[in-house]
Structure 1
Amino acid sequence: MQSNCEGELVTAISHAGDRGFHGILLNAGAYTHTSIALYDAIRASALPTVEVHISNPDGREPFRRRSRIAPACMARVAGFGPSSYVLALLGLLGHLEKQRLDERD
């Protein structure tokens, strides 16, 4: 889903597990640097979440270098343009497959 509204993003994350999702790719845009609500929603969801950015926030303005959501995410993919989404999805799928195999053992 795509939304510019923080509350809609929080609601979507909160209901992701109920909707059958096994993980989340999240480009929180400017909310990355400000949203404790998104951090809380990611933690409460207990779903593996990958923070995604098209550009590299560390190469931008100093205020963009701190992610409020990073501690709740399992990984971060940034700076590869639109390919960041593909790379993040591949990483998330690999993580989920490893979880599945570990549960079988």
Structure 2
Amino acid sequence: MPPWPYRKSATAFRDDGCATVTVEITHPFHPRRGTRVQLATRRINWGEDRVMFYDERGQLVSILASWTDVDGPDLFAQAAAGRSAFRVDDLRRLRALIDELRLEVLDRVR
């Protein structure tokens, strides 16, 4: 008999003895910041790295992985120790975007 043509559901409950992984929601503006949740799965959905967990009502919820501590401490945040809110690379990209938008506005005005 040929194998079943479909893979097992990634969101189906698994009871295979795997250790549970708990992550903390760390995004400063998320309403559940500081909450520890049991990780159900982690996957790339529509190009975004997301972690999924079941909320108190049993609903599967997903949030960006970067909004949790699933990957461990951010090295930049540790080195900055609260002294810098922005990375140099991010500021450079922002400056390039502002320059590009400024040129577009100037072209429209002329």
TM-score (normalised: structure 2): 0.25
Higher RCO, 1 or 2 (CA under 8 Å, sep at least 6)? 1
- The answer to which structure has the higher strand fraction is 2
Q: With structure 1 as the length reference, what TM-score do the two structures score?
A: 0.25
Question: Where is the helix percentage greater, Structure 1 or Structure 2?
Answer: 1
